[in-house]
Chains A and B, each alone.
Chain A
């Protein structure tokens, strides 16, 4: 046993001893980052001093730590990828990357990480790049505390801010992403954590993922993105304490769920969206303790959705609480607070004495004939809704919350 440890130490010793720190910058040993990258050995640290480095595409193909002092600028001169990482155990910290190239048919990024593992990108500022950070076929990556801003004038040719394709165990935290096609995009990326990012004013989606299972999204803010957030074809996803806000437009959704299964949407806030949540073909989803405030539609649930549970949510100040194109028999609504319920509570147990049907007749009409929304707030629409509440005839009669809360839940 001792011999084993000893031999291990002997093996490691040369690597540990030789780990050097290379200085790069004007008046330093290395004037260019390219020459330092060529000279460096695995395990070295490259300290890059402030200044502008316009060196064309750089490749990191050995385990290195790059530290920027005073945010040195790596300028891509709008030609190609700025930094490509193909080696494991690489850290890039404290750089400003700008002016990346635009791909013809391929994805060109500020920092591209491909076919590797254990790569950390932190405290970088990336601006005017087609894709900001692009991960593919990589495991155990960390992307945190980065500022990523697309170039708005060429928004259409912009790629995604943070893009992960076919990755596992990626942490994406505390980043700020604006002005890209999709802020954060994950495809075939599993077992990852996405937390405390602020993603706003992107052309299409703030967050977009497809075929990405078992990921957790916590405390992110998705604000004023062109089409909101779209999550598709995934299962066992947890979305908790996120903020979905200001997604306005006929094809914009606070959260669009398509073909999503067995996932939990808990403690989120949805406010000021045309449609807060739109669900299609999604099953066994749990919605608990979410706040739906001042949206056009709080929920649009298509009849292709079954076995979903909505419990303990607050619905406050929405034009419509729920719209559907079917009966939604197999979905459960329980103990939600609906500000439109207008009920009473004689035994003062906090539960309304009359059940509440969240689909209004007028919502059904608007669903079939969108232009009818002109009549919203008209006495006629109000009268129709009241009559339907008393004697339900057209609205799905089994779509009912039997124990609506009298007061908003504290979330």
Chain B
């Protein structure tokens, strides 16, 4: 009986572990030329831009530009808020957790839906890009991006 109970508890623990592990936020590679933006319905095609939202249940939503993601998030207003991951503008299909990303907002950045926002892993990389664009623009962090009207 005790053996039975301990097997059961191990089974429950294993099950719980697997379920919880399954809930960990995991991005999906964007298939450029095939995947569709959840917001604007456009097919993603520019590997410098893209983002994903991962809901509490683990569902992955893909976006071609940050303004599509922001609009969607505002309209859906789900709790807990889904986690956001942004494509590194210097590296195709590398995702950066939104909170750790450095954003450059620059008029000359031609993003798919006109957010003019590119994403970088470090401030140094951002500055390199900024000088390639001839200077100017604004550096934003995720909290600033969320406040963009």
Contact = CB atoms under 8 A, between A and B. Distances in A.
A232 B41 CA distance: 10
Select the residue from B42, B47, B114, B118 with max chain A CB neighbours within 10 A.
Answer: B42
Interface residues of B, number: 23
B43 A226 contact: yes
A205 B43 contact: yes
Given A155-B33, A204-B33, A106 B43 contact: no
Contacts of A232: 40, 42
A47 interface: no
Interface residues of A, number: 27
Main secondary structure of the interface of B (DSSP, over half): loop
Contacts, number: 58
Interface in B76-133: 89, 92, 108-110, 114, 118, 129, 132-133
B50 to A, nearest CB: 12
B15 interface: no
Nearest to A107: B110
A204 B45 contact: yes
Contact of B118 (A105, A251, A280): A105
A258 B132 contact: no
Select the residue from B35, B40, B43, B114 with max chain A CB neighbours within 10 A.
Answer: B43
Interface in A239-261: 249-252, 256, 258
A137 B41 CA distance: 27
A397 interface: no
A207 interface: no
A130 to B, nearest CB: 11
Contact of B133 (A105, A156, A203, A258): A105
14 contacts: A104-B129, A105-B48, A105-B89, A106-B110, A106-B133, A156-B32, A156-B47, A204-B43, A204-B45, A226-B33, A226-B43, A232-B42, A251-B36, A256-B41
Q: Report the 5 A-B pairs with minimum CB-CB distance, sorted nearest first.
A: A251-B36, A227-B43, A204-B45, A204-B43, A203-B33
Given A105-B48, A278-B41, 11 more contacts: A104-B129, A104-B132, A155-B33, A156-B32, A156-B33, A157-B47, A205-B43, A208-B42, A227-B43, A232-B42, A251-B34
Interface of B: 32-36, 40-43, 45-48, 89, 92, 108-110, 114, 118, 129, 132-133
